[in-house]
């Protein structure tokens, strides 16, 4: 019991560390200044591709893709994820970084919608209500209008949608047995190659400070990826995923300290609605999972002759595998756990 509590505490610390890293990524992208978005995207993904390349090189399976059926989903995850990163970086350059962060954190709610079409999952009425409330909160941040000023916020909103689609693809790849490092490498390499022609065409000379900022953005994003992977190895997503929203608080703090940014009242209301809904969803699925576990224990107690299941720990692989399509309690956990395999929670 003590080990379980310790692991959960370590997992929370690690996921907050990941949130800090991704907030730093947003800060460094913004501090890089007036550079083309594709130039920033290139350097962000180049660093991640290099790091994961050497990790795969040292692995037993090297660069082998698990199955041919994974190729389509690797491509879709990379293409839509790349578009999401471009939209997210465009928003970061033109919005308060806390606004850009909260819009990207819509991705788990978009994943609920995409799982209906891609995984044939049936969300519960409560989950649908959570999605509607969250999107309502997002409108306070986006502040939709017919002026050009709304474009960056709309870009951030659709960047979150792209990230949600990418996370759903990652869940499918995880169910097919594809390695997380291979998924991350395919995405990072694809994004690096896809952004290269645009970077060359619109290249803007950089000062040493701008180059340092872009390299730090890439290192921060890569560090965030490793932190979040380690976090989900220590504790299930259902217990710790909500702490990832601390990224918004870090982003608001960095924006205030380094960029003289303060979110307006409407944005703050949006933050409260979105983060509040995420916390409510977290409690809902914790309670739902507890009821399911208690029912299983009761069933085994009533049927002593039935074969017993092997003991499960919080680190059991069963916690991290794709659930059957009709198991809404488990599938929501995996929407969060897709962030672990993906490592790009910010369109990341």
Q: What pLDDT score does 339 carry?
A: 45
| pLDDT tens string 221-238 | 999 988 987 887 788 776
What pLDDT is attached to residue 147?
A: 80
pLDDT at 317: 34
Alpha-carbon span 205 to 203, nearest angstrom: 7
Residues, the chain, total?
348
pTM of the model: 0.81
Q: In this structure, what token pair is assigned to residue 301?
A: 């107690």
What pLDDT is stored for residue 230 in this prediction?
A: 85
- In Å, how far from its chain's centre is CA 87? 15
Mean per-residue pLDDT of the chain:
85
- Model confidence over 299-325: pLDDT tens digits? 666 555 544 444 444 333 333 333 333
Query: What pLDDT is recorded for position 154?
Result: 95
pLDDT at 342 over 60: no
Give the number of other Cβ atoms within 10 Å of residue 193's Cβ. Answer: 14
How far apart, in Å, do the first and last CA atoms of the chain sit? 35
- Give the model confidence (pLDDT) of 147-201 as tens digits: 888 999 999 999 999 999 998 998 899 889 999 899 999 999 999 999 999 999 9
pLDDT exceeds 70 at position 266? yes
The model's confidence at residue 206, banded by pLDDT at 50, 70 and 90, is very high
pLDDT of residue 300: 66
How far are the Cα atoms of 96, 303, 319 from residue 296, in angstroms, in the given order? 47, 11, 15
- CA dist 303 → 159, 289, 291, 294, 310 (Å): 50, 21, 18, 14, 16
What one-character DSSP code corresponds to residue 242? G
Q: What pLDDT is attached to residue 166?
A: 92
CA 62 to chain centre: 25
Cα→Cα distances 182→57, 59, 70, 141, 170, Å: 11, 11, 11, 35, 11
- Kindly state the percentage of the chain with pLDDT values over 70: 83
Measured at the CA of 86, the angle between CA 20 and CA 77, to 5 degrees, comes to: 85
Cβ(60)–Cβ(285) below 8 Å: no
Instruction: Express each pLDDT in 37-96 by its tens digit.
Output: 999 999 999 999 999 999 999 999 999 999 999 999 999 999 999 999 999 999 999 999
DSSP state of 105: T
> What does the pLDDT read at residue 228?
85
């Amino acid at each position: 019991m003590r080990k379980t509590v310790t692991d959960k505490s370590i997992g929370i610390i690690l996921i907050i560390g990941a949130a800090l890293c991704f907030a730093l990524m947003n800060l460094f992208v913004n501090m890089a200044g007036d550079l083309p978005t594709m130039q920033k995207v290139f350097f962000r993904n180049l660093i991640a591709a290099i790091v994961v390349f050497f990790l795969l090189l040292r692995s037993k399976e090297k660069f082998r893709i698990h199955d041919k059926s994974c190729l389509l989903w690797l491509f879709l995850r990379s293409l839509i994820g790349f578009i999401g990163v471009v939209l997210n970086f465009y928003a970061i350059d033109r919005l308060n970084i806390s606004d850009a962060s909260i819009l990207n954190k819509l991705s788990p709610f978009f994943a609920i919608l995409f799982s209906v079409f891609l995984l044939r999952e049936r969300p519960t009425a409560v989950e649908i209500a959570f999605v509607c409330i969250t999107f309502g909160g997002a409108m306070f941040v986006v502040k939709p209008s017919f002026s050009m000023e709304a474009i960056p916020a709309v870009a951030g909103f659709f960047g979150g949608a792209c990230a949600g689609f990418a996370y759903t693809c990652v869940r499918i790849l995880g169910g097919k047995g594809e390695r997380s490092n291979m998924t991350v490498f395919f995405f990072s390499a694809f994004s690096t190659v896809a952004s290269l022609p645009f970077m060359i065409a619109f290249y803007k000379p950089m000062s040493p400070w701008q180059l340092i900022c872009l390299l730090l953005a890439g290192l921060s994003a890569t560090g965030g990826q490793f932190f979040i992977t380690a976090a989900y190895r220590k504790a299930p997503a259902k217990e710790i995923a909500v702490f990832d929203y601390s990224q918004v608080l870090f982003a608001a703090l960095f924006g205030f300290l380094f960029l003289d940014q303060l979110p307006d009242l409407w944005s703050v209301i949006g933050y409260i609605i979105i983060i509040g809904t995420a916390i409510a969803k977290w409690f809902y699925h914790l309670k739902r999972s507890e009821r399911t576990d208690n029912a299983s224990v009761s069933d085994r107690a009533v049927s002593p002759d039935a074969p017993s299941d092997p003991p499960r720990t919080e680190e059991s692989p069963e916690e991290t595998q794709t659930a059957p399509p009709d198991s809404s309690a488990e599938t929501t956990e995996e929407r969060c756990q897709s962030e672990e395999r993906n490592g790009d929670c910010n369109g990341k």
